[in-house]
Amino acid sequence: MESQLSDKHQHAACARCHRTFECRVGSINFCQCQSIQLTDDQQQYIRSTYQGCLCADCLLAVRTEYNHLIHPL
């Protein structure tokens, strides 16, 4: 069973920082990106800016970047 699960996990390079992380496309509820809450607008911004997946650290950074663009200090 472990090999079946690992077959559905991929090593991906973050489209922003290029670090390698494990993408759990086969069990998306356990993927690192699921812990990051994004609004629809934030998701659209990410889709329009990057091709491919981002690591959790970059998702957080881009979420903050987007918020600063929309609501400057």
Average model confidence (pLDDT) across the chain? 86
Beta strands in 2-69 (DSSP E): 10-13, 20-23
Note the pTM of the prediction, 2 decimals.
0.78
Quick one: which of 22, 18, 19 has its CA closest to 33?
Answer: 22
For the chain, the domain total comes to 1
Assign 8 a pLDDT band (cuts: 50, 70, 90): low
Q: Could you list the residue range(s) of the whole structural domain that residue 48 is in?
A: 2-70
Assign 6 a pLDDT band (cuts: 50, 70, 90): very low
The yes-or-no verdict on residue 4 having pLDDT over 50 is no
List, for residues 15-46, the tens digit of each pLDDT value: 999 999 988 777 777 788 888 999 999 999 99
What mean pLDDT is predicted for residues 52-68? 95
Separation of alpha carbons 33 and 12, rounded Å: 12
Quick one: which of 11, 25, 14, 24 has its CA closest to 55?
Answer: 14
- Determine contact, residues 26/7, Cβ cutoff 8 Å: yes
